[in-house]
A = this chain, B = another copy of it.
Amino acid sequence: MSKTNKLKIFNDPIYGFITIPNTLIFDLIEHPYFQRLRHITQMGLSSMVYPGAHHTRFHHALGCMYLMQKAVRVLRFKGVSINETEEQALYIAILLHDIGHGPFSHTLEGFFLPTISHEAISLRYMEALNKEFDGNLSEAISVFKNGHPREFLYQLISSQLDMDRLDYLKRDSFYTGVVEGSINSDRLIAMLHVKNDELLIEEKGIYSIEKFLLSRRFMYWQVYLHKTGLIAERLLKRVLQRAREILKQNIPLNATKNLLFLLEERAINKDELETYLPAFTAIDDHDIWSAIKDWQQHDDFILSSLSKMLIQRNLPRVELTDKPFSKEQITEIKDRTQKIKGIDESNINYFIFSGKVSNHAYDRTNGGIKVLLKNGTVKEWLSVDTQFNSTALTEPSVKYFLAYPKGI
C-alpha cells in the first residue's frame, strides 16, 4: 500500500474529520488489538438508560488523538518546543491508552483479571506492539509510564486536564444527549500552556475550569452514576458471578470458548497475565450478551432470573439517598422479597443490592490543576479562584442505594 493511501480520514459526528497523521499510526489502528475496540462499548450499560450511548472505545481513542493534535498545535504556537519524536509518542500513547479495556469497559474491569488495572493491560499490549513495530513505540511507552523527563507529556495523557477526559466528557455527553455535560474542549486546549515542563492552564481559564469540573460532576450524577445504569451494571456482574459458581459445580453452561475459560479461571497476579491474555483479547461485549441471552433458559433459577431481568430490561427498583440505609431497612426488604417472590434466604443476596457511590469532581491532592498567572507565577486552581469554594467539588459526594425486585 502506498504511503498516501494510509493518510486516511475518519468521520466523527463530534469533530468532523479525524486525520491519521502518519503510517505508523495508521498501522496501529489497523492492528487486531486496536480493531478489537470496535466491539467494546465506551459506557458499559449506559445505553440501557441513554439509548444513544453505543459509541465504542475505538472511537474514543481516535477522538483523543484528534484532541492531542490540537494540543500540540496550540502549545507549539505558544512557543513550547515539542520535537517530532515527542509528538509521535503523544499520539501513540493517547491512541493506545485504553487498549487494555475488556468487555463493557469499566463495568467489568477487575472481573476477569482481578488485581490488574486496564492501564496495566494497556501497557502489555503496547509492549507487544513495540516488538512488532521494531521499537518504534518506546518513547510512547516511556511517556505512558510517566518515565519521560518532560512531565507535561505524561500530563497530556493522564491528569485532571488530559485529552482522555476532554474527549470522553464531550463524547459521552454527545451520545447520551445530556448536553449539560458537554465541555468546550477547544477552549480548554486553547488555554493550555507549559512552563518548566509542567502542564498549566492560563489564568483567564479559571472559569472554564469551574465549568469543566461541574460538567464532570453533572455527568457523574446524571449519567455514570444514574441509578438505573448503576443497577444494570451490578446486575451484570451478578449474572457473571452466578455463572462462575455454576461452573464450579460442574454444571454445563453455554458460552463462547474464551468466555468459558475466563469464567472458570482467572489471573490473580500480573505474572499470570500471559496465560489469560489471549482469551481476554478474544472476548468483547458480544460474547457476554449472547451468553446471557442463552442463560435466560438455563435450569438454574437464579441465573435464568437474573439473565431475564437484564435482557428484558426488567430491572430492580432503586432508591438513592444521601443517607445510608439502616440494617433494619435492608433486612425488612429482604424478608419481604423472600416472601413475595419465593426466594430462599441463601439466594436473597442475588436480588437485593445495596451499597454506595461517590462523585469527586476535583482532586486537590497531587497538586490539582495548576494555573499560570498573568504575572508568571504558578498556583493551584482553587487558591486562584478563591470565590469558588464548593466542597461539592473538592470533597467526594456520597450517595447510598438500595435496590430490590419490582413488586416488592
Q: Chain A: residues with CB nearer than 8 A to chain B?
A: 1, 4, 7, 9-14, 16-17, 19, 30, 32, 35, 38-39, 47-48, 50-52, 54-56, 58-59, 62, 77-78, 174-180, 182-184, 186-187, 190, 207-208, 210-211, 214-215, 217-218, 221-222, 254, 256-257, 282, 284-287, 289-290, 293-294, 311-313, 322, 386-392, 395, 397, 406
Which of B1, B17, B59, B293 touches A282 (beta carbons < 8 Å)? B293
Q: Is the CB of A179 within 8 A of B184?
A: yes
Q: A107 CA to B322 CA in the complex, in Å?
A: 44
Give 19 A-B contacts (CB < 8 Å), ordered by A residue. Answer: A4-B78, A7-B77, A7-B78, A11-B177, A12-B177, A13-B175, A17-B187, A30-B313, A35-B313, A39-B289, A54-B54, A54-B55, A207-B218, A210-B392, A254-B257, A256-B294, A388-B392, A389-B392, A390-B390
Q: Is the CB of B290 within 8 A of A286?
A: yes
Q: Is the CB of B184 within 8 A of A293?
A: no
Q: A209 CA to B187 CA in the complex, in Å?
A: 24
Tell me the minimal C-beta distance from A328 to chain B in angstroms: 20
State the oligomeric state as a number of copies: 4
The residues of B that contact A290 with a CB separation of less than 8 Å are: 256, 286-287, 289-290
Tell me the minimal C-beta distance from A16 to chain B in angstroms: 5
The residues of B that contact A32 with a CB separation of less than 8 Å are: 311-312
Tell me the minimal C-beta distance from A347 to chain B in angstroms: 24
Tell me the minimal C-beta distance from A226 to chain B in angstroms: 10
Q: Decide: A59 near B52, CB < 8 A? Known: A184-B179, A282-B293, A391-B389.
A: yes
- 10 extra interface residue pairs, beta carbon distance < 8 Å, beyond A1-B406, A35-B311, A38-B48: A4-B78, A13-B52, A13-B174, A38-B51, A180-B184, A180-B208, A180-B211, A210-B217, A254-B257, A390-B392
